[in-house]
Amino acid sequence: MYGAPAYTRIDTPCTPAQKAGFKKLTAGSVTAGSIAGDPIESRLTTAPGNGAPIDGLKVTTRHGWFAVRPSGTEDIYKIYAESFRDERHLARIVEEARDLVERALAVA
């Protein structure tokens, strides 16, 4: 049984080089097959409606999602995440999102 949906936004420090790496991210930059135990359904770097760049990355599963974007004014990137299950699942999404982003930026 599911609990209440949970949402968060977390600011994460990043170097200028990492921040520049966001411009090089593609859907293929995400090599993981699952997040928080759920298969990844989509990897987006452009808006589905008009194809405009989202200046970051969004990854969705059936039970949650996360999006990351660099700040335009600070040396941070922001993680937005939502679990349709509960807070514990949300914590897993955030933890795995951080790892995934760090790996993707290291090769970007």
CATH C-level class of 6-107: alpha beta
The two three-digit tokens of residue 23, written as one number: 């411009």
Contact at 8 Å (CB) between 6 and 82? yes
How confident is the model over 1-7, as a mean pLDDT? 79
DSSP-assigned letter for residue 4: -
Report how far apart the first and last C-alpha atoms of the chain are (Å, whole number): 39
pLDDT class of 1 with cuts at 50, 70, 90 = low
Contact at 8 Å (CB) between 14 and 23? no
pLDDT tens-place string over residues 24-81? 888 888 889 999 999 999 999 999 899 998 889 999 999 999 999 999 999 999 999 9
Contact at 8 Å (CB) between 22 and 108? yes
